[in-house]
Structure formats: structure tokens, C-alpha cells
Amino acid sequence: MLGRKITRDLLLVVVVVAILVGVPVATITAYSPELNSSAVNPDPADVMSNSTSPTCSPTSLCPFMLDTAYGFNNLFGLGISGAGQTIVIVDACGDPSLSSDLRAFDLQFGLANPVVNIKDIGGTPCSDSGWSVETSLDAEWAHVTAPKAKIDILVAAVPDTRDIYDAWIYALNHHLGNQISNSFGGAGCYNGACDAEIGQGIGSCGSIRGTDGINVAKILQLAEKDNVTVLAGSGDSGASGLGTSQEEAIPADCQGVLTVGGTTLSVNASGNYEGETAWNGSGGGYTTNREPNYQLYAGIVDPYHTLAKPDVAAVADPNTGVEVYNNGTWEVIGGTSVSCPIWAGFMADVNQMRAQNGLRPAGFVNQFLYSTVYDADGSSPLYKEDFHDVTAGNNTWSAGPGWNPDTGLGTFIVPALAETLGTSPEA
């Protein structure tokens, strides 16, 4: 299964499963917490370690370190920090202490507290410590990379497909924001049955079996029409999809999603970038969905001739994780639950720049990234200017030059990629 990572000294995996009496639901999992080491069987949420203060080191990143490593600080120096934009974050159950958590996080790191709106979807939210940490993580680190953006958090009452995707529909119907961040996934189960024929993520993204009758692909078409970027973490259990033992999972396996994988980020004590490798937990591989023309044009090496994921990446290894404040404690967290909101904040920065240049919001950027920034076999000069090409490491699939099924196109060189996306009418 997919997993969100929380690192200190031990490993713990959380899987949150909603069960509604009399109502068929599919499994949705928050990217389950893990504390250093290899994966174990899913277990109820239980944070095994905590700290009274952040440490700020190359193995426990604070905001200034990540901002320095990727170049967000240079973007902020130009006045680009998500102003006028809204980041929509979809989670289940929520974090009852989110307001105080975010205030404490901002006070610690000298950030201005953002405008935050919280909307419950589907009724009174459930209570779950794993989803609580997830919500804090998503809000705090989207805020780090777009400190002047507003944050709208849509809280599904329970982590089932109906409430989760109702949150997407609510965001689109109410035009909340042009970037929607999702740190969850589901695979293989519907109405008590789990196999390779039915279930979320098995087969076409447009399938309604395993998603409680909801056609996720059609919702994504609406998002593209409205210039909304839908982002999702690629998962934390390594290679998935065809040729592997791991099931692919909606929404990360959908063409209409900007799917974010994970890296091991090396920095010095000041946050200066020293390199990246593919994190071995980064979800990625070859899905059962049709290969899009833009990946064919880009020359993505795909032995199955299907949609390949992820698209992009950012830091996710729990051994180089980020500091998160939740319910009075500090935790060091990794996983694509980190890389996804980091990219959501980046897209808010891009859309501020686009608004200043009189351009529509970026929306579905995948085609532009593959066809223009990367081009055929990574031949565009923009590729070396805009991306760190992550060529080492593996998630079972080995990384290599250009796109790979561990980290996609790679990680952003923030000022350069923001300028490309923020000034190109075609993006």
C-alpha cells in the first residue's frame, strides 16, 4: 500500500480505512506514517517519537533549508510567494488543532500566518491521529513554499471515495483555487472485495468500480477546463503498476494529475543544494492507462507503452525529512506527502507570476512540461535550466538520465522553472 513517512528512530505504517455500515466504499489511505527502516504491515496510527523543538539539520529540514536548496528564497526575493492565490488541500478527518499548530509553526520559523479556511465535506469529520498529522504537514509545507497564498482545507468526514472526491467537486464548483493538493491514495478494494479485477487504481482511471461510482477521470477533465492543477503524491511503497507486485492507485495513476514522486535530498547545514538521488520508497512505474501523446513525443522509455508516472519529484526520504508541528509536538516527516504540498505551493507561486503577466492560470501543465520543457529525449535546453535531473537511486526501477519511473522529469530549479511556466502563454 501507499504510505506517508514520519521519521525518527523506528518505523510505523498507518493505513486509514473508512467503513460505512450499509454503504459500499472503497479504501482511501492517508500516506501512512513511517519512522526510519523498512516497511511493516499497516497498523493503527501511533506516533512513536516526538520532540519539544525542531533541530534544523540535513536530516530534519526546516523551511529556510528547503527554500535555499531549491531556490524558493530567490523567488521570494522577486516578490513571488503565492500572493492572490489559493491552495486547496484535501484531507480526511482533519486536525482539530490545525489553527494553533500552524501558528506555532509560523512563529518558530518567522513566517506570517496565512488566511486559512476549513470546510467539512460530508458531515462531522472523524477523529484520527494519522490524518491529523497529515493535515498539519500539508498545510505547513504548502505554506512554506507559497507563504502569501491563502489555504482552503477541505476535510472529508470519513476517508472514503464519496467524501474525498466530493471535496474535489466542491472545490471546482466553488472555484476555490487553481491548485488542489492530495496526499492520499487507494488501491484494490471495493465493497469488501479486493483483487486485481476490481478496485481503485486497477485498470483505467475512468473506471467507476472501486471508486463508489465516481468517475475520477471526468472530474479531472473539469479541472483541466477550469485551469486547475490537481496534484497527488505518487506513494511511498516503491515501484508500482505493470511489472511489479504493487497496485497502482488513483489518483496518482491518472493522466490528469501532476503526480509527484520523491527523492533523497542532500544539503549542508545552511541548506545549500548538494545533490539528490531517487528515494527507494518513491511510487512510480507504468500504469494500465493509455500512453498520452505528449509522453510518446518526449520519448519516454516505456516497455509497456502505457501512461508512465510520476511526472516530477521533490524531497521525500524520511531520512532527509521535514519538521512538522502537530498537537504540541515536532515530528520529522518524509514521504510523498511532503513532496506533493511543496509542489502545490510552487504552482501557486507560478500562478501569481502568470496573473502578473496577464496569463490564465497554468492548470494542466503535464503536456507543456513533457513537450516543451523536456522535449524529445530531454533535448530542450530548458530541461537542464529548469530541472535537477535525478540519475541515481532506485525504487526497484532504476533511475537514469532524463525521465525515470522513480522521480519523473526530476526536481525543480525553482526560479528557472517558475519563469518558464510563469511567462509562457502555452503552459
Query: What fold characterizes domain 5-423?
Result: Rossmann fold (3.40.50)
DSSP per-residue codes, 53-73:
S---BTTEE-HHHHHHHHTHH
Do 102 and 52 touch, CB atoms closer than 8 A?
A: no
Helix-, strand-, coil-residue percentages of the chain, each rounded to 5: 30, 25, 45
Give residue 51's pLDDT.
Answer: 73
- Does residue 251 have a cis bond before it (omega within 30 degrees)? yes
The three cell numbers locating residue 251: 489518483
Helix/strand/coil for 368:
helix
Residue 161 pLDDT class (50, 70, 90 cuts): confident
Out of 76-85, 207-216, 361-370, pick the least confident.
Answer: 207-216
- DSSP state letter for 124: S
More confident residue, 157 or 348: 348
* Cα 380–Cα 382–Cα 385 angle in degrees, nearest 5: 135
Residues 6+ apart with CB under 8 A from 73: 64, 67
Calpha distance 178→67 (Å, rounded):
22
Q: Kindly state the average pLDDT of the residues 274-289.
A: 94
Residue 3 pLDDT class (50, 70, 90 cuts): very low
Residues 6+ apart with CB under 8 A from 79: none
Q: pTM for the complete prediction?
A: 0.88
Across-strand partners of 260?
A: 233, 312
- Does residue 310 have a cis bond before it (omega within 30 degrees)? yes
Helix/strand/coil for 258:
strand
More confident residue, 249 or 347: 347
More confident residue, 324 or 160: 324
Do 42 and 12 touch, CB atoms closer than 8 A?
A: no
Amino acid at residue number 313: A
pLDDT tens digits for range 251-269: 888 999 999 999 999 999 9
Question: Regarding beta strands 184-185 and 29-30, do their DSSP bridges make them parallel or antiparallel, or are they unpaired?
Answer: antiparallel
Question: How many other CB atoms are found less than 10 A from the CB of residue 39?
Answer: 17
Give residue 43's pLDDT.
Answer: 25
